[in-house]
Amino acid sequence: MQISSWKKCDLQVATPAWRFAQPAGSSYDFQRKEDRQDFLDRYMHALKSKGVEVIALADHNTGDWIDDVKLAGKRHGIVVFPGCEITTGTGADGVHLIVIGDLDKSSQDFDRLIRANLGFSDREPFIVQAVSRNRLHLP
């Protein structure tokens, strides 16, 4: 018989991909792999120190950091569910859709979801496309 257990989780975690404030005194260049890795190691350490064992990513309209965060999670014993927060046509009033994938999903899977299935592209900001599709207008 398997025994159930409780896990401390944070199911809406952001990364620097979405206007994330860097720790005081740091000057990371997130284009550099070493800086990303160092930042994520500090991030995972902070989560562990709070007892968090499971996270789900929820960067707005991007899955760019998924693969890096999953690797950092493995290094620190934290389960990382890949995900992102999709800004909807009514996102300006607080309605967003958080999509969490299976553990094996990657940055590429979420890129396909956002750009192909949802129809977003690099030509226009996500919120503008979502709003125009729903024939709503930003104030």
Q: What is the CATH number of the domain that holds 17?
A: 3.20.20.140
Residue 3: inside a domain: no
Helix or strand (DSSP H, E) at 80: strand 79-81
Domain contains 139: no
Closest alpha carbon to 43 in 64, 9, 73: 73
State the Cα–Cα distance between residues 60 and 126, nearest whole angstrom: 9
Is the pTM of the predicted complex or chain greater than 0.75? Answer: yes
- Residue 138, pLDDT score: 31
In a domain, 138, yes or no: no
Confidence (pLDDT) at 127: 45
- Structural domain harbouring 71: 9-133
Q: What is the pLDDT of residue 27?
A: 86
| 4 belongs to a structural domain | no
In a domain, 84, yes or no: yes
Taking the chain (139 residues) in runs of 10, the rounded mean pLDDT of each run is: 90 83 81 93 95 93 93 97 82 74 92 72 47 34
The number of domains in the chain is 1
Is the Cα torsion angle 66, 70, 73, 79 positive or negative in sign? Answer: positive
Closest CA to 126 of 87, 97, 95: 87
